[in-house]
Amino acid sequence: MKNTVFFCFAMGILALLASCKPEPVGGELANTYWTLSAAKLDGKTIQFPKAADINLVFSEGKFSGKAPCNSYFGEYSTKGSAIELGEIGATKRACSELEQENALFTLLSKATSYSIKGDKLEVFGPTGQLSFFKMKKEKAEALRYTQGVGKLEKLFPELDGGDALHLFPLLRVDNPGNYPYQGTVVDTSFYPYFSSEIREIWQGGGGDVLAVGQYGGFFICRVPGRYVSSDIAIFKVQGSEMQHIETTAWAWCDEGWCNQQDAWLTDHDGDGRTDIIKHYTLTDDRGKIKEERYTLLLQNEANELLPDPAANLDKGKYRMARI
């Protein structure tokens, strides 16, 4: 009788403990940064070196991170508190912690649910559990830069334009010839690192965005315009984004009229900051100029480009390209 009572009591305690186990609650994963704090596989704690910096980053539909030996990446999906991490890709560097790394990958690949509570992330699976805490802000920002806009920056080579870089548009995108600003296609996976307003324009305009180069602190792109990727725009890195500063050079012709604007990047006032000079013309079908204007934008200490209405420009120095 005593054994029966004890058995029932023990089973009741186990049931109570099971009922007290918190249910996964899910949470917003996109654009979050985490550092591993603990890992258990088959009831055993995985021991990582104290110096190991193991992290996990989620973007829109993709994850990446650093394991003891290698960087890893893949795709994920969630529904409520359920999570599925797809096949994990990783670099192939060998080290003495490969066994622990493989255990980490096993836990990630078999994850079935998760919870975000405050600064903690718990990832659960049939064979174990991973615990993370939110990455420190400074470190997350540095990682965000390296993986995002910092990686984007590397697409832009330094341009040698002398004292003034002359930017002019490309009218025949199907026959660029010796046009100097052909550029490298920017993969659409980099678009989130540009401002949302400019992305909307690109998505509606057709054509590619091409990284041309950098000059005087500006990043120069060929972007979709009236004739597909025919316009030239300049950007500056601000925080974790490339912010659109100015569409500097463009051209289009219609019903006997042609519009063209060229631009020059130069330190016009000698203060060490890059300024912009723009030359615009409207011509008729005989090539006669009907409208013409020059504009000088001076960059101030706050990196703002402000028009100088009193500018005295040497108009013979800033002649437009024949396109």
- DSSP string for 227-295: TEEEEEEEEEEETTEEEEEEEEEEEEEETTEEEEEEEEEE-TTSSSS-EEEEEEEEE-TT--EEEEEEE
pLDDT at 6 over 50: no
Top-confidence residue, 140 or 267 = 267
pLDDT band at 241; cut points 50, 70, 90: confident
Q: Tokens 């990196």 sit at which residue?
A: 303
Quote the mean pLDDT of the chain: 89
77-106: burial string, b at 16+ Cβ within 10 Å, e else: ebeebebebeebebeeeeeebeebbebbbb
Report the pLDDT averaged over residues 249-271. Answer: 94
Report the pLDDT averaged over residues 216-243. Answer: 92
Contact 122, 129 (CB under 8 A): yes
Domain ranges of the chain: 22-146, 155-307
pLDDT band at 173; cut points 50, 70, 90: confident
pLDDT at residue 5 in the model: 45
- Listed in order, strand segments (DSSP E) in the chain are 32-41, 44-45, 55-58, 62-66, 71-79, 82-85, 89-90, 113-117, 120-125, 128-134, 164-167, 184-185, 210-215, 218-225, 228-238, 241-254, 257-266, 275-283, 289-299, 305-307
pLDDT at 10 over 50: no
Side-chain-side CA neighbours of 132 within 13 Å: the count stands at 26
pLDDT at residue 189 in the model: 82
Among 155-164, 166-175, 257-266, 285-294, the least confident range: 166-175
pLDDT band at 195; cut points 50, 70, 90: confident
Can you tell me the distance from the alpha carbon of 225 to that of 248, in angstroms, rounded to the nearest whole number?
Answer: 12
Percent over 70 (pLDDT), the chain: 93
Among 41-45, 95-99, 170-174, 270-274, the least confident range: 170-174
pLDDT at 2 over 60: no
Top-confidence residue, 240 or 286 = 286
pLDDT at 298 over 70: yes
pLDDT band at 141; cut points 50, 70, 90: confident
pLDDT at residue 21 in the model: 55
Contact 69, 97 (CB under 8 A): yes
pLDDT at residue 108 in the model: 96
pLDDT at residue 169 in the model: 95
Fold assignment, 22-146: Lipocalin (2.40.128)
pLDDT at residue 16 in the model: 40
What is the separation of C-alpha 5 from the centre of its chain, rounded to a whole number of angstroms? 63
Can you tell me the distance from the alpha carbon of 183 to that of 229, in angstroms, rounded to the nearest whole number?
Answer: 10
Report the pLDDT averaged over residues 296-310. Answer: 93
pLDDT at residue 229 in the model: 92
pLDDT at 232 over 90: yes
Among 11-25, 59-73, 224-238, the least confident range: 11-25
Rounded to a whole number, what is the distance in angstroms from the first to the last CA of the chain? 101
pLDDT at residue 103 in the model: 95
Report the pLDDT averaged over residues 120-147. Answer: 91
pLDDT at 13 over 50: no
pLDDT at 14 over 60: no
pLDDT at 11 over 90: no
Contact partners, residue 16, CB within 8 Å, separation at least 6: none
Can you tell me the distance from the alpha carbon of 295 to that of 302, in angstroms, rounded to the nearest whole number?
Answer: 20
